[in-house]
């Protein structure tokens, strides 16, 4: 399981990069969903989003799920490419698989990588 140490994580398996303001689904989440076949970003540039609110709808061959904002802020960019190549979430969830970018994000209540890894391991048993 890939859990970059520079990111922060939610209990609903989203990540947040406090430096860039980007967020998306964790490697754990994409592995649970398996082959992702559809992504729809539900917010637009300029929108104010709240942590915990849905920002995207994701469908795989196994299930459908929502991705939630890992921090609150103003959307400055949306990864439009995910609609045409949703499989990027499986291949590169922390790089090309980012979903939205915000400014003003606050990650004070998110887990660090060590806490998130422990959280994922506890759920696997």
> Tens digit of pLDDT for each residue in 11-44?
999 999 999 999 999 999 999 999 999 999 999 9
Give the integer Cα–Cα distance in Å for 110 and 21: 14
What does the block give as tokens for 69?
């904002």
| DSSP label of 92 | -
DSSP state of 82: G
Sign of the four-CA dihedral 96, 87, 105, 118? negative
Is 81's pLDDT higher than 80?
yes
* pLDDT tens readout for residues 106-124: 767 899 999 999 999 998 7
Question: How far apart (Å, rounded) are the C-alpha atoms in residues 53 and 39?
Answer: 16
Q: Is 2 within 8 Å of 25 (Cβ atoms)? A: no
Report the run of H or E that residue 117 belongs to, with start and end: helix 113-124
- pTM exceeding the 0.85 threshold for the entire prediction: yes
Tokens found for residue 28? 């754990």
Domains and CATH numbers, the chain: 21-120 (2.40.50.100)
């Amino acid at each position: 399981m890939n859990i970059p140490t520079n990111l922060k994580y939610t209990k609903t398996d989203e990540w947040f990069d406090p430096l860039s303001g980007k967020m998306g689904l964790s490697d754990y989440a994409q592995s649970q969903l398996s082959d992702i076949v559809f992504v729809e970003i539900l917010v637009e540039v300029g929108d104010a989003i709240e942590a915990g609110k849905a920002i995207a709808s994701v469908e795989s061959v196994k299930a459908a799920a929502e991705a939630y904002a890992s921090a609150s802020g103003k959307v400055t960019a949306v990864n439009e490419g995910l609609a045409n190549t949703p499989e990027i979430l499986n291949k590169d969830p922390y790089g090309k698989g980012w979903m939205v970018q915000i400014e003003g994000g606050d990650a004070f209540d998110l887990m660090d990588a060590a806490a998130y890894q422990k959280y994922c391991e506890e759920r696997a048993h």
